[in-house]
Structure 1
Amino acid sequence: MFCKYFSFFSLCLFLPTQRRCSLGHVSSLHSSDTTSLPGFENLTMGYNKYLRPYFGGEPVQIAMSLDIASISSISESNMDYTATISLRQRWTDPRLVFHGNRSFTLDARLAELLWVPDTYIVESKRSFLHDVTVGNRLIRLFSNGTILYALRITTTVACNMDLSKYPMDTQTCRLQLESWGYDENDVTFTWLRGNDSVHGMEQLRLSQYTVERYYTLVSKSQQETGSYPRLILQFELRRNVLYFILETYVPSTLLVMLSWVSFWITLDSVPARTCIGVTTVLSMTTLMIGSRSSLSKTNCFIKAIDVYLGICFSFIFGALVEYAVAHYSSSQKCAAKVPQEGPANKITKEMEDVNITNILNNSITSYKQKISFTSIEISSDNVNCSDLTMKSHEKIKCVLRNKMHRIIGYFTIQNPGNVDHYSKLLFPLFFMLVNVFYWAYYLYF
């Protein structure tokens, strides 16, 4: 009999032209139904869905709770995340009080005939209500006028991310619920049971993140039109770095170690050492481009992974430059040994070919000048600038030349073979030291 009574009640609600019909008329037909649900006619008599409960009086207290079904599509490029939630709202409407201690689950389409809060999701880019097979909404009415209104929503919410420590970062995102039109004088928002009002966060399994912790907050939004109540669910997501260690950090480190192999190859093996240096540089460049492709829209950030790849590229390029310096010094030293014998023999032969007649025809002063200039040309490294026969501007040039040779001598590598010997020790040692500072800074600071 109650089913017939309830079907008639639903029919009355969905027929606005028949708002005058009441359950009192039903009681005359089915007196046994009205005895079990006295006062139920308040649902159809004198109810105005456009006015909030306690209109003109105290604000309506709305208690909320959340069930987090999933958090997916966390995008660093778009700075947002997508979540599927079940939003439950509870409030008391004294116009819907009826006798008894029972609760009834009503058809979800009755929400169009009842007053419901105008709650919206702050910073939501796009959202939709699930409607398969029917609209995923729930309305439960309690005898004291309390209404439970539940919705299943999928929403994409903005989340401001700091990617300076990517991929060793921890991101803090928010899900904020606020009243759109009613200020704090009309409605107040509270969490039903504090942090226990949120369910499902512990069971979440995300692809790249781990939920560190979450907590609820109660706040207000100050706007020009007033102060509006706001509820905040704040949660921290820590990125799983193991994938990036295997995908980027280990290959880049191995490339740096591969570039050190050239230190054990002799300087005369030009094709072998050049091939290793160029190959490692190109491989490192490809690895750097690949790591940035997934974050093409966030290249403005100097991320931790970019710093490490830059360090590795510097060490690989340094190993290539080291061979260029060592090979150049070795070739210069070999070239310096050849001219030491040639010019000296030529000068000696020229001195022997000078006949006595030419010596007697020349003056003593011209002969001394010729000998002085010859000594300058023979040994430019040890020029005697105190010769009285030299002019002032020639002495200045001589002094500057000696200074330049002395400065160049400080940077001249006497034994090019020692360059590889010291590089075998300094490159790995300095690379390990840089790694210690890098991981200590990004993991603990």
Structure 2
Amino acid sequence: MANMIMRVLIILGIWILHCEITESLNCTAQDAEERLVSSLYNELLDGYDSRVRPCVNGDAVHVFLDVFLASLDGIDEKHLDYSITATIHQRWHDPRLTFNGTTTLPPTAYLVDRVWHPNIVIGNAKEVLLHHISDTNQYVTVDWDGNVTLVQRLSVKLSCAMDFHRFPMDTQKCNMDLQSFGLTTSDLVLLWGAQKLEFHSHHMRLPQYFLIGVDFFDCTEQRYNGIFSCVRAQFTLERTLGYYMLQAFIPSIALVMVSWVTFWIDVRASPARVGLGVTIILSVISKTNGVRLDIPPVSYLKAIDVWYTSCLFFVIGALLEYALVHHLSLGTKKTKQKVLAFIPKQGSSSQESAMGVSHGTIESISAPCRISRQHQVIRRDETTGELRTTASAPPLDNKHPQPLQTTSPSGRQASAIGRETSRMQGQEVSTCYHCNSMPGETHVIDLISRWLFSIGFAIFNICFWAYYLPTNYTPEYLTDDEKFVSHSVGNL
């Protein structure tokens, strides 16, 4: 038993001693590595001048740029700009920073201000913010062969020259220009790296746009003081039509179709037809002004202007169509009244009998609006000379219809009845002609308009959507081998 306990104590002691030795060796190795890294930093920076570019008397420094697009934050159409959050990688070769390849230097912000790096600016930036969450979001890595990488995380608001000719079926192309600020192409050349641009599709979703692709260009430009290198990433953004379809197109189509209801309303219902037409016109104008608030005022014609102007043309046309129909109706009535005014005054009862007319009372004059016009006769009162309408009984055979007779008044009573008849004549006969004389032209115009307006609006829709709907866009750099870039709208 004592031997067993002795063996256990010996094994335990050996294990404790092994752990202490291992820990001591690890600490020694770590201390040695830390001292090596520190000495490397001191050795690399010893005599290093960060104010001088690499190979100052040699070829230009080639800087390779890669961008990781963290998010597309929004597009402000009124101010013509858009916002992104991106991490920019800048890589170049500095032979002054080469060292033994057995050691790797970790990324550090310590070298940001202690090594030379290119002064690259975003040419079309309005605002640039370097993130300082917990610490400054930038660092430098140095490889053993002298390749240096500067990484910075930025939030940028960039200007975008937008074109609204096809709004709201438009496709905007917004640029991000990375260019040298002080060094010309003889000292610094900017190039896109292997990755160029990396982004994840779920970070690129916007309420009204799809990011459908990115193109890359060389935007090197010559100024009065030299040629400056520049590279450009162009984002192609296609507007989604859902919002404007619900807020603009469908309501305006409904308003135009409601304006056609007036073609089925009686021509005598002037308040209904005019009131409906004016209300629809004001509604279309109100919708037009509401949509235009989303974009800055521009001097050229937009697709939405073409749409609303055409809709306004159709609803105003429906109102003008009623004005024409009403005018033709009144014109026909006045023409018939003029014909009646030229009937000669007849003095003999025989001539009145030949016309099939006779004296009538006030009750007989007010009857025509309730009796078919085929059984109405017109006569001139021999006492007062006024034209009056009397009703005749419908013929029982093919004989000439006989007028309805009442007891003919005489003397003052006849004169009073004649004057009252003349007054009632102006109201009853005029109303009768307006009620019963629906001209053939009026009915035909309304009937034609029902088809003409609907077919015309359908043809306009076909032409409008065929012209303004965007065509399929394929960015030139999208291939199946690209690893991080979305290839189509469906992937976004």
Counterpart position of 1:46? 47
Of Structure 1 and Structure 2, which has the larger fraction of its residues in helix? Answer: 1
State how many pairs are aligned: 356
Counterpart position of 1:145? 146
- Structure 2 CA distance for partners of 1:110 and 1:33, relative to 1, 3 Å: closer
After TM superposition, list the pairs within 5 Å mapping 1:42-441 onto structure 2.
42-193=43-194, 196-200=195-199, 202-203=201-202, 204-295=204-295, 297-346=296-345, 415-441=441-467
Question: Bigger CA drift: 304-313 or 37-46?
Answer: 37-46
- Structure 2 CA distance for partners of 1:276 and 1:35, relative to 1, 3 Å: closer
Rounded Cα–Cα distance in structure 2 between residues aligned with 1:150 and 1:31: 28
- Structure 2 CA distance for partners of 1:190 and 1:102, relative to 1, 3 Å: farther
**C-alpha displacement of 1:125:** 1.5
- Render the CA deviation track for 1:74-127: whole Å, top value 9, x for unaligned: 122222211111101111222222212443234314312221110000111121
The two structures have a TM-score, normalised by structure 2, of: 0.68
Rounded Cα–Cα distance in structure 1 between residues aligned with 2:179 and 2:139: 20
RMSD: 2.7
Counterpart position of 1:367? none
- Render the CA deviation track for 1:11-62: whole Å, top value 9, x for unaligned: xxxxxxxxxxxxxxxxxxx888666887554223101111011111122121
SS at match of 1:268: coil
Counterpart position of 2:394? none
The amino acid that maps onto 2:145 is N
Rounded Cα–Cα distance in structure 1 between residues aligned with 2:51 and 2:36: 31
Bigger Rg, which one: 2
Query: Does the 8 A contact of 2:73 with 2:84 survive in 1?
Result: yes
Rounded Cα–Cα distance in structure 1 between residues aligned with 2:37 and 2:115: 23
Structure 1 unaligned blocks of 5 or more: 6-29, 351-412
Question: Bigger CA drift: 224-233 or 302-311?
Answer: 224-233
- Render the CA deviation track for 1:221-279: whole Å, top value 9, x for unaligned: 21121111111111211111121111100000000000000111111112221221111
Structure 2 unaligned blocks of 5 or more: 1-23, 349-438, 472-492
SS at match of 1:294: coil
- Render the CA deviation track for 1:342-394: whole Å, top value 9, x for unaligned: 33234x569xxxxxxxxxxxxxxxxxxxxxxxxxxxxxxxxxxxxxxxxxxxx
- Structure 2 CA distance for partners of 1:106 and 1:81, relative to 1, 3 Å: same
The amino acid that maps onto 2:467 is Y
Query: Does the 8 A contact of 2:170 with 2:470 survive in 1?
Result: no
Rounded Cα–Cα distance in structure 2 between residues aligned with 1:252 and 1:321: 19
The amino acid that maps onto 2:146 is G
SS at match of 1:420: helix
- Structure 2 CA distance for partners of 1:342 and 1:188, relative to 1, 3 Å: closer
- Structure 2 CA distance for partners of 1:32 and 1:223, relative to 1, 3 Å: closer
**C-alpha displacement of 1:219:** 4.0
SS at match of 1:68: strand
SS at match of 1:111: coil
The amino acid that maps onto 1:53 is P
Rounded Cα–Cα distance in structure 2 between residues aligned with 1:79 and 1:127: 16
Query: Does the 8 A contact of 2:171 with 2:470 survive in 1?
Result: no
> Percent of counterpart pairs with the same letter?
31
Counterpart position of 1:25? none
Rounded Cα–Cα distance in structure 2 between residues aligned with 1:62 and 1:342: 100
- Structure 2 CA distance for partners of 1:33 and 1:300, relative to 1, 3 Å: closer
- Structure 2 CA distance for partners of 1:182 and 1:313, relative to 1, 3 Å: same
- Structure 2 CA distance for partners of 1:201 and 1:220, relative to 1, 3 Å: farther
